[in-house]
Amino acid sequence: MVLAHVMDDQTNQQIMTTTVNKLFPVKGIATPYMYHHITEALFEAGLKDDAVHLMKDYWGKMIRLGADTYWEAFDPDQPDYSPYGSPILNSYCHAWSCTPVYLIQKYLV
């Protein structure tokens, strides 16, 4: 709803603050693709600091683990996580995971 701009700014901020405070970190199936939409919604709701923190925390953990590209699947608590049953099958250079590149240019530059 935040990304569709159907609510007022105050409601958007409340929705996103509640989402982050009650649901994060996400357990179970969590991919950079899902985190992309949450991070962009934080920016759109005017919660820039929260969005930047989420990028540094989530994608930053990939970097701290040695990533030099964006991974298709990533669970910070289980670096070997794979939705396919083996990390060998994961893509370690995946376009849907490049959120920081897009959002930094869109909202921070």
* Residue 91 domain-assigned (yes or no): yes
Total number of domains in the chain: 1
* Residue 28 domain-assigned (yes or no): yes
Q: Exposed, middle or buried by CB within 10 Å (0-12, 13-18, 19+), for 18?
A: exposed
pTM above 0.75, yes or no: yes
User: pLDDT (tens digit, 9 = 90+) per residue, 13-39?
Assistant: 999 999 888 887 777 667 899 899 999
How far apart are the C-alpha atoms of 50 and 2, rounded to whole Å?
Answer: 15
Range of the domain at 94: 9-108
Mean pLDDT of the 72-100 span: 90
* Residue 42 domain-assigned (yes or no): yes
* Residue 79 domain-assigned (yes or no): yes
Helix (H) or strand (E) holding 17: helix 9-23
